Chains A and B, each alone.
Chain A
């Protein structure tokens, strides 16, 4: 690799300048006037600063986070790509599967359809914030005990949704649980065990 880089430098097309040029071309194809103006001056750094970012302060799992992000960043992408909280999963990315379910001010929402900037000043809880240190949340324990998953990809969303299902008072019967968990799809088909896990936590009476 080093030799190759040296060769490129000799021929005048270094890897770095190639990347600069290719990112310029991409930027020109996709971005508004401000960026094109920056690009005309030929500096990547100006392109970066021309893409509008805005400040966001949001409390995530009890920790206040202050970041600058583009308006188009979803809460899901902020969590996963920026803050590296990868417990929250990206399934369909269109609000149809529930894998991205998190709590915003205690309410379960699809983080894939939530623009991160709309969470300014709010409290977000993800699957990483559910356990109490090394002690799993009762819902996490129940999913383990009842084998409420196979591949596990939908599980963080299922658990976040299940906690709210009980908190909202919608876990009185298995039928009610099925209705109020309908926003979380499990392609492995672990539904019956998921319902068992939720009913077990509800009947156990532990605080969720």
Chain B
């Protein structure tokens, strides 16, 4: 690991001030991704601003929903009684990610900021437009088993690795960030970016901004919820495809539904057209299958991930069936 200097801050104001002073600085939260990237030589900040002692870890009920502090640990969120009661999809998604040790370290804000696990991004001997803009994409035409089927560009076909973000996208969460110019809010679906011509930018956070909290508005979707993650081993692996599904069912009909996928795009992939089509329909496998076909309309294989074109719709159907079957 390259050398760097280190400063510990205890307030969001001092965190933002410390970042403003040094353009080569980065925030350090749980470190589960950043320290790994620094060891691999993918990222080399000259200064780390340790924000672990900033009081941003509370989970509280507001008038309109739950507010989760950016430094709440993944374990703390997954096992929080309010989260389990109101947003079981979030709890399920978090528990599907990483290992117990990593979930004890990783934070909500850090989870959003984690970078792709594309092997070509991690291997600094290979070209990668995300790691080294303009160098080319090693993955295109290479080993593409884990790669995107939606929204990829000719510059980058990497996917976002998070499970938590799939749930937060489906739940219409809103992110609050703070920077030198004050606070602003970002709808969750607008936070992460598609690669386009600038795959080096994972998200729309501006330099020097700190994620403060995530607000999730109350909904009526807790009764029929399922997060289904398909991966190469039973646990502790990144998703090939994952689906977060949550529904409100009244008299056998779908009053409201949310659907999002992981492992398929550069950002958590919300299926709004399929949602709109399902609304008001009966909760049958036939309708789930039609919605899944609709969701796959613009899917494109990279060769090695062609199996995802079949796996993804099947996972959507299975997640919806399981969610609908809940009492």
Number of interface residues of B (CB under 8 A): 30
Q: Do residues A118 and B52 form an inter-chain contact, with CB atoms below 8 A?
A: yes
Interface string of B178-211 (1 = CB under 8 A from A): 0000000000000000000000000000000000
How far, in angstroms, from A178 to B99 measured CA to CA in the complex? 11
Interface string of A54-68 (1 = CB under 8 A from B): 100000000000000
- Tell me if A141 is interfacial: C-beta within 8 Å of chain B: no
Q: Do residues B105 and A110 form an inter-chain contact, with CB atoms below 8 A?
A: yes
Q: Of B46, B75, B100, B102, which one neighbours A95 at CB under 8 angstroms?
A: B102
Interface string of A112-141 (1 = CB under 8 A from B): 011101101000000000000000000000
Q: Choose the segment among A11-19, A36-44, A69-77 that binds chain B (4+ C-beta atoms closer than 8 Å).
A: A69-77
Q: Do residues A113 and B36 form an inter-chain contact, with CB atoms below 8 A?
A: yes
| Chain B hits for A110, CB < 8 A | 32, 101-102, 105
How far, in angstroms, from A52 to B52 measured CA to CA in the complex? 21
Known: A161-B100, A168-B100. A114 touches B6 (CB 8 A): no
Interface string of A91-126 (1 = CB under 8 A from B): 001110010010000011110011101101000000
Q: Do residues B35 and A115 form an inter-chain contact, with CB atoms below 8 A?
A: yes
Residues facing B in A157-208 (CB within 8 A) are 161, 164-165, 168, 170, 178-180, 182-184
Q: Do residues A108 and B28 form an inter-chain contact, with CB atoms below 8 A?
A: no
- Which residue of chain A lies nearest to B36 when distances are taken between CB atoms in the complex? A94
- A-B contacts counted at CB < 8 A amount to 90
Q: Do residues B32 and A108 form an inter-chain contact, with CB atoms below 8 A?
A: no
- Tell me if A150 is interfacial: C-beta within 8 Å of chain B: no
What are 20 A-B contacts defined by CB distance under 8 Å? Answer: A30-B2, A32-B46, A71-B6, A72-B38, A95-B101, A108-B101, A110-B32, A110-B101, A110-B105, A113-B31, A113-B102, A115-B35, A117-B6, A117-B8, A118-B28, A118-B50, A118-B52, A178-B234, A180-B100, A182-B236
Interface of B toward A, CB cutoff 8 Å: 1-6, 8, 28, 31-32, 35-36, 38-40, 46, 48, 50, 52, 75, 98-102, 104-105, 234-236
